[in-house]
């Protein structure tokens, strides 16, 4: 093994990178009088609350297991709601904390269900619409929920094909997304809550990943949506539901609309985002143009307005950067002045972090492939050990910003290469559809082309390259070890499928409406049996040459534990060495900090053994 270049960069402890944030996700109460945020309590993330402008905050939630990761204020100003599952099973329940009594109630107290928030309205502060698969695990019906009394009332039964619901601003369910047998989606609409559903338009599988409804205008006469029909990328459109006419608001030829900012009272669109190399905002509402101009100079990171008070005079703004923690500010729209609140991981400020650099290259068949490179500090960018860190999904994408794994790898002495291979979203439908039926095929070719690009640049040592990832990225790691065994010197697979046939057959019941899409994107387990076997690492185990580290959560509902167990058994039968970490209280990823510490401790020792980098001793 080549000698690793010595870096003078201080080793960043694992707990600084992968432990809980000290504070995160601040949110203003609707009346602007209080702020809530997430912070550890007995090393478990919970919600803390204090008066606006005060330094006195008190923990108000009582989660004792996995920690709260997402919460929101009820418009009552007296309740905080959050979602939680059990040991990673993704049976999400909706909980409410009464801020007067500090009592927590499960608002969806049913066994083996998954709740989804559909809609809420500040004019009806005690009410929510929530979808629950209580009567049939495959289908989510819509319920009206009173968060004070806990009363649930069924208002919309799923006919069997609805994959998603949308209500207007008066909490009337008037829009639905219905899966179709061709792997596409029908947009179902109705003018009144008691009228019949009409299939207004059909998105074929070609457009389904780039098109979706966003929300209604205040009067309910306009439905905003992202639509890629007759275009390559998803465009921001306005549909007049009565006149059945479309008008284009804005779009890009190559990049899909990634998000919008909506006024909390008028529901008018104020800004639209496109994630290119970085996030880019386009202002649609001139009343916020000066505010966005000011926000762009407060900090160099990419910003999001995460919370607004009742009269819209105070915004909470978060800034994400690639080489430091998330910064949170309070911004006064009247004075155009900002007040720094806190950063989510202040200990990171004590260390030098690497920059995440956008890169691009041409694939062997002529596609432009984009991604990000994070290199170790203080060493020459030449013949470095490289970790190809493959994102999951696969129909998502890596983005610019603080990535704890990228910083961890760079700090340990490795170049970290993150590639948005074909099938990744955000780059228009031609690019995402180029991934159809290409699991282990051209999607993997893109990853190999990325490795070759890095070697050709002189950046990477071709004898010291690891493939690493979770979910689809874990599958890609297994593909790397079996399909291209001479490219990688080691592989790390986290919750990755090993057999595409058993993966598809064991997906959660509530994904049943997406089965036709899965068949179109990946393959059909009966009709395409031979094809799916040819793309499954399990059946090429005898080609493995590189050592493999495998990690899995016992309760994973998406990629069952059996996906790791069966390839381990196959390796055992052929006396192929492996390392395996089983987490009894986790699912599709590792939520508990103690489990993250265990995994990353093992992973960095594994990488150090095979790539030669630094590692933090276990227990220090």
Strand partners, 48: 37, 59
Query: Any residues with CB less than 8 A from the CB of 317 and at least 6 apart, and which?
Result: 295, 298, 303, 304, 305, 306, 328, 329, 330, 331, 338
Q: Kindly report the three-state secondary structure assignment for every residue of 588-612.
A: CECCCHHHHHHHHHHHHHHHHHHHC
Query: Any residues with CB less than 8 A from the CB of 268 and at least 6 apart, and which?
Result: 217, 218, 262, 285
DSSP calls for 150-169: --EEEEE---S-EEEEEE-T
Residue identified by tokens 């196959």 is 570
Q: Is the dihedral of CA 244, 425, 561, 581 positive or negative?
A: negative
CA 88 from chain center: how many Å? 16
Burial class (CB in 10 A: 0-12, 13-18, 19+), 334: exposed
How far apart, in whole angstroms, are the C-alpha atoms of residue 48 and residue 469?
Answer: 33
Residue positions annotated with a catalytic role: 471, 556, 588
Looking at beta carbons, which pairs linking 340-344 to residues 24 or more positions away fall under 8 Å? 341/26, 341/316, 342/22, 342/23, 342/26, 343/23, 344/21, 344/22, 344/23, 344/24
How far apart, in whole angstroms, are the C-alpha atoms of residue 502 and residue 525?
Answer: 8
User: In whole angstroms, how far apart are CA 609 and each of 294, 319, 454, 463, 618?
Assistant: 49, 37, 22, 14, 14
CA 94 from chain center: how many Å? 20
DSSP calls for 200-230: EEEE-HHHHTT-EEEEE-TTSSEEEEEE-TT
User: In whole angstroms, how far apart are CA 538 and each of 13, 289, 363, 496, 502?
Assistant: 36, 55, 27, 11, 11
What is the pairing mode between strands 415-420 and 384-390? parallel
Strand partners, 411: none
H-helix or E-strand spanning residue 18: helix 14-18
Query: Any residues with CB less than 8 A from the CB of 588 and at least 6 apart, and which?
Result: 88, 90, 471, 495, 553, 556, 557, 558, 559
Residue 250, both tokens: 């804005």
Nearest to residue 232, comparing CAs of 211, 218, 215, 212?
211
H-helix or E-strand spanning residue 47: strand 44-51
């Amino acid at each position: 093994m080549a000698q690793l270049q010595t870096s003078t960069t201080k080793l960043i402890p694992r707990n600084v990178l992968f432990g809980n944030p000290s504070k995160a996700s601040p949110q203003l109460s609707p009346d602007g009088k209080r702020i809530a945020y997430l912070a550890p309590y007995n090393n478990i993330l919970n919600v803390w609350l204090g008066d606006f402008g005060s330094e006195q905050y008190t923990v108000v939630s009582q989660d004792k297991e996995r920690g709260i990761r997402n919460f929101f204020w009820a418009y009552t100003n007296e309740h905080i709601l959050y979602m939680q599952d059990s040991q990673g099973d993704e049976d999400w329940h909706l909980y409410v904390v009464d801020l007067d009594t500090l009592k927590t109630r499960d608002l969806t107290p049913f066994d083996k269900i998954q709740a989804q928030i559909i809609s809420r309205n500040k004019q009806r502060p005690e009410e929510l619409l929530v979808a629950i698969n209580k009567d049939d695990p495959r289908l989510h019906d819509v319920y009206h929920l009173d968060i004070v009394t806990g009363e649930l009332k069924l208002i919309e039964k799923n006919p069997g094909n609805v994959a998603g619901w949308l209500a207007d601003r008066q909490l009337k369910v008037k829009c639905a997304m219905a899966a179709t047998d061709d792997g596409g989606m029908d947009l179902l609409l109705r003018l009144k809550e008691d009228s019949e559903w009409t299939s207004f338009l059909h998105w074929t599988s070609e457009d389904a990943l780039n098109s979706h409804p966003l929300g209604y205008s205040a009067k309910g006469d306009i439905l905003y949506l992202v639509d890629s029909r007759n275009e390559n990328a998803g465009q921001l459109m306005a549909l007049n539901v009565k006149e059945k006419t479309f008008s284009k608001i804005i779009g890009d030829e190559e990049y899909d609309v990634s998000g919008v900012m909506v006024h909390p009272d008028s529901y008018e669109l104020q800004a639209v985002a496109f994630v290119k190399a970085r996030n880019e905002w386009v202002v649609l509402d001139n009343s916020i143009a000066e505010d966005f101009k000011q926000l762009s100079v407060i900090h160099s990171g990419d910003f999001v307005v995460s919370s607004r008070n009742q009269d819209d005079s105070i915004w909470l703004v978060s800034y994400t950067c690639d080489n430091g923690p998330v910064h949170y500010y309070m911004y006064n729209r009247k004075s155009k002045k900002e007040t720094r609140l806190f950063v989510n991981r202040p200990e990171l400020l004590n260390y030098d972090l690497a920059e995440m650099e956008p890169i691009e290259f041409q694939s062997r068949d002529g596609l432009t492939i984009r991604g990000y490179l994070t290199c170790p500090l203080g060493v020459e960018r030449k013949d470095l050990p490289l970790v190809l860190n493959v994102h999951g999904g696969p129909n998502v994408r890596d983005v610019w910003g603080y990535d704890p794994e990228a910083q961890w790898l760079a700090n340990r002495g490795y170049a970290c290469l993150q590639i948005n291979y074909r099938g990744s979203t955000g780059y228009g439908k031609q690019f995402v559809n180029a991934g159809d039926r290409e699991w282990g095929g051209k999607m993997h070719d893109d990853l190999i082309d990325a490795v070759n690009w890095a070697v050709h640049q002189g950046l990477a040592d071709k004898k010291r390259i690891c493939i690493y990832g979770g979910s689809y990225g874990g599958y890609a790691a297994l593909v790397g070890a079996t399909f291209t065994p001479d490219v990688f010197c080691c592989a790390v697979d986290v919750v990755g499928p090993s057999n595409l046939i058993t993966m598809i057959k064991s997906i959660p019941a509530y994904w049943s409406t997406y089965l036709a899409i899965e068949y179109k994107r990946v393959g059909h387990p009966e009709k395409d049996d031979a094809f799916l076997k040819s793309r499954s690492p399990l059946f090429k185990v005898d080609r493995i040459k590189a050592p493999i580290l495998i990690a899995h959560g016992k309760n994973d509902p998406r990629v069952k534990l059996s996906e790791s167990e069966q390839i381990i058994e196959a390796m055992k039968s052929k006396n192929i060495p492996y390392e395996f970490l089983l987490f009894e209280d986790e699912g599709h990823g590792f939520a508990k900090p103690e489990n993250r510490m265990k995994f990353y401790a093992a992973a960095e020792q594994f990488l150090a053994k095979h790539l030669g980098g630094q590692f933090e001793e276990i227990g220090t």
